[in-house]
Structure 1
Amino acid sequence: MMATWRMQQRALCLAATAPTRIVTTTTPPYTSTSLTVRKVTSPNTPTWYPIVSPLLLHVREFHSRKFSRNVEFFTSSDIPLPKDTMQMASALSKDDRPLTLLFCWLMAKEKHIRKYAMMYTNMGMDVLKIRVSPFDLLRPTKGSQVAADQVLEFLHANPSHSPILVHGLSVGAYTCMEAMVKIEQDFAKHGHLLNRFVGQIWDSAVDIHGIPNGVSRAITNNPTLQRNIKKYLLWYLRTQYNTATIHYERASVKMHQNYLEVPSLLFFSDIDHVSTPEMNAVVYRKWEAKGYPVYTRCWKGSLHVSHYLKHRKNYEAEVLAFLERIGLTEPTRHLATSL
């Protein structure tokens, strides 16, 4: 079933005869300013999943289960979570459960991460939070790649956690792509996992060239320390090519080629010096050229990974509109008339 869904997604992407990047307006309805999205229907279109707008619900508490310092699971289900196992989905329901892989930014505060997690648990989705430390980033084989292995282990242990949405912030994009590198390196074992992915959201994504700026700004707000850390990281990238830089480059290739091969939504800002509009454009134009559906939103006056905190309602509306476009949620107009 999921292989069929994956094939449908690829067919819809490749059927496009022109790029489908959409810059949405700041107030509903969210429509294209230059292009029209093609509405595709077929007898094989998957049924709607029970996801609803967080704007229409009261905030619910969620439960969590921490597997390691890098990986934690969240759900709004009231069913007690099993212990000593990663098998969450089958314990919570006999049916498929949509899952969001939330790849966090460096030094993110837990209270901020939980806002993103709650956005999805309020929609009825489970969330797997993945975060790495600066040391994990600088020592990929002992840090970021260990976290990537844990993500793949979780997906294997929970085959009914499907479909899967990726939501990555800042260097979380790199962490996610480390998982993609591992899938390609052992495709016989991991390749079938790709069938479950249906969409990706990148918020302030950072490529290898943005690591010196991104890490230095994440560690401190002191301009002098930022400059010194940046100089060190530039030196580190030059001298530690075989132990670190080569891994960043391999992950970057996966991002630029859209290894997931699913529709994408990109958030960035006109004043973000870490994830610049130009840096994002290099990536999404490559995806557009291959015919993949791409949606973008450039926020005005919003700092790095602060778009949700500053524009919460519009951010949630953009996310929900994207989920509707990829068939992951019922159209909001239907929800509004049924409540």
Structure 2
Amino acid sequence: MWFELTSNLVFVCITITFILVVSLFIPNRSEILNRMADFTFAKFIYKSTRYLISKLIAILTINSTSTTISITPETILQQSNLMFNRSDGHSKVLVITFSWLFARERHLQKYRKIYLERGYDMLTVKTNVLDVLYPINGSQKIAKNVVHFLEHAHHKYDDILIHAFSIGTYQFGEVLVQWAHNDRSNEVTAKLRGQIFDSGVDVDEALNYFTQEVIRNKPIGFILKWSIMAYVTLFHNLTTKQHRRSSDHIHRNKYRCPTLMFLSSNDTAVNESDQRKFAQYLANNGIPVTIKCWPQSLHVGHFIKFTDEYLQYLNKFIDNVILH
């Protein structure tokens, strides 16, 4: 726990140091300092600080004689980044959505509506920046919560469908890693029917995603990019190594899930060429794959910009993999 706190604190300090150093050596530093008020960056620093404080409080208040709390779907939902939505109480299909960073409820609700109107139950998994930067106590803990939830709830369902957005693709990969080391998950994985990757961000594209999509202010994005590079270099085994393991499980597709991929050629956070190679790899191994690529669209915004076409592909895919 202390090491987790230290690594996160190092990242925040590196970021702030880069900002101060760069601001001293560039001619228009006053403009840069003014741009530091960029809302997204301020929100990132605020959330990082709040996260660090919460961890410090947890360390200082930990009770060495704490008792074991029984694990149930309800307790998991209360203590994790998971949200469950029930359709009519009789659904035999569960959709698990892995959201993008800073996803707002009003945006997630648009996707929930699609599945809930079909009568499917939904489990939404949220991941934040620090969960990605410190997987062992972030995204991997979230993945374990997903696994525990499904171990207790899977008997209610015949089919499970995955819909991962952007960095949520990485979070889904962490779930695959957990399943690979847990024999008790065989009953769950046997119910996987398909996976949808919407603007899926791979490990090699994560830096571009953070700097170009999360921090849209270019000077701040440049500084943040170098801060992240310094951080992942210092903590390679705790970050990049974990990210690549997740990516390997995504590409391996051990459960041979039919796959639908949404992307666009102009998305700077997603490498179209790599995505097409991944799709070709699946096809060569006899795994059904559909790829829909728009010439110009928004990162995780295809549904908003091309609603009818998006739903046409999505509904056809669901009808093919969910047979009842």
Equivalence for 1:160: 156
| Distance across 2 between alignment mates of 1:70 and 1:215 | 20
Among residues 185, 195, 200, which one is paired with 2:181 in the alignment? 185
Q: Mark the CA change 1:130 to 1:252 in structure 2 (over 3 Å): closer, same or farther.
A: same
Q: Is 2:205 the counterpart of 1:194?
A: no
Aligned residue pair count? 248
5 Å-filtered alignment, 1:236-275, equals 236-275=231-270
Tell which deviates more after alignment, 281-290 or 142-151: 281-290
Letter in 2 for 1:229: L
What TM-score do you get using the length of structure 2 for normalisation?
A: 0.73
Q: Is 2:129 the counterpart of 1:118?
A: no
Contact 2:212 2:221 in 1 (8 A): yes
Query: Residues 204-223 of structure 1: CA distance to partner in whole angstroms, max 9, x if unpaired?
Result: 10111011111223432211
Equivalence for 1:75: 86
Question: Helix, strand or coil: the match of 1:205?
Answer: coil
Letter in 2 for 1:153: H
User: RMSD between aligned alpha carbons?
Assistant: 1.6
Structure 2 gaps of 5+ residues are 1-75
Equivalence for 1:222: 217
Q: Is 2:135 the counterpart of 1:140?
A: yes
What is the CA distance between 1:134 and its match in structure 2? 0.1
Equivalence for 1:173: 169
What is the CA distance between 1:283 and its match in structure 2? 1.5
Letter in 1 for 2:179: I
| Distance across 2 between alignment mates of 1:327 and 1:66 | 26
Structure 1 gaps of 5+ residues are 1-64, 78-91, 330-339
Higher helix share: 2
* Structure with more contact order per residue of length (Cα contacts < 8 Å, sep ≥ 6): 1
| Distance across 2 between alignment mates of 1:109 and 1:230 | 24
Contact 1:106 1:218 in 2 (8 A): no
Letter in 1 for 2:190: N
Equivalence for 1:129: 124
Give every structure 1 segment of 4 or more consecutive aligned residues whose post-TM-superposition deviation is greater than 4 Å: none
What TM-score do you get using the length of structure 1 for normalisation?
A: 0.70
| Distance across 2 between alignment mates of 1:66 and 1:181 | 21
Q: Mark the CA change 1:218 to 1:271 in structure 2 (over 3 Å): closer, same or farther.
A: closer
Question: Helix, strand or coil: the match of 1:221?
Answer: coil
Letter in 2 for 1:298: C
What is the CA distance between 1:300 and its match in structure 2? 2.6
| Distance across 1 between alignment mates of 2:80 and 2:188 | 24
| Distance across 1 between alignment mates of 2:152 and 2:169 | 23
Contact 2:161 2:192 in 1 (8 A): yes
Query: Residues 86-123 of structure 1: CA distance to partner in whole angstroms, max 9, x if unpaired?
Result: xxxxxx33xx6201100001111111111111111011
Contact 1:184 1:191 in 2 (8 A): no
Equivalence for 2:20: none
Letter in 2 for 1:76: S
What is the CA distance between 1:270 and its match in structure 2? 1.1
Equivalence for 1:89: none
Equivalence for 2:306: 311
What is the CA distance between 1:284 and its match in structure 2? 1.4
| Distance across 1 between alignment mates of 2:267 and 2:239 | 25
| Distance across 2 between alignment mates of 1:225 and 1:191 | 45
| Distance across 1 between alignment mates of 2:79 and 2:116 | 21
The structure with the larger Rg is 2
Query: Residues 235-278 of structure 1: CA distance to partner in whole angstroms, max 9, x if unpaired?
Result: 33332111111110110100111133110000000110111211
Contact 1:216 1:227 in 2 (8 A): yes
Tell which deviates more after alignment, 107-116 or 228-237: 228-237
- Percent identity between matched residues is 28
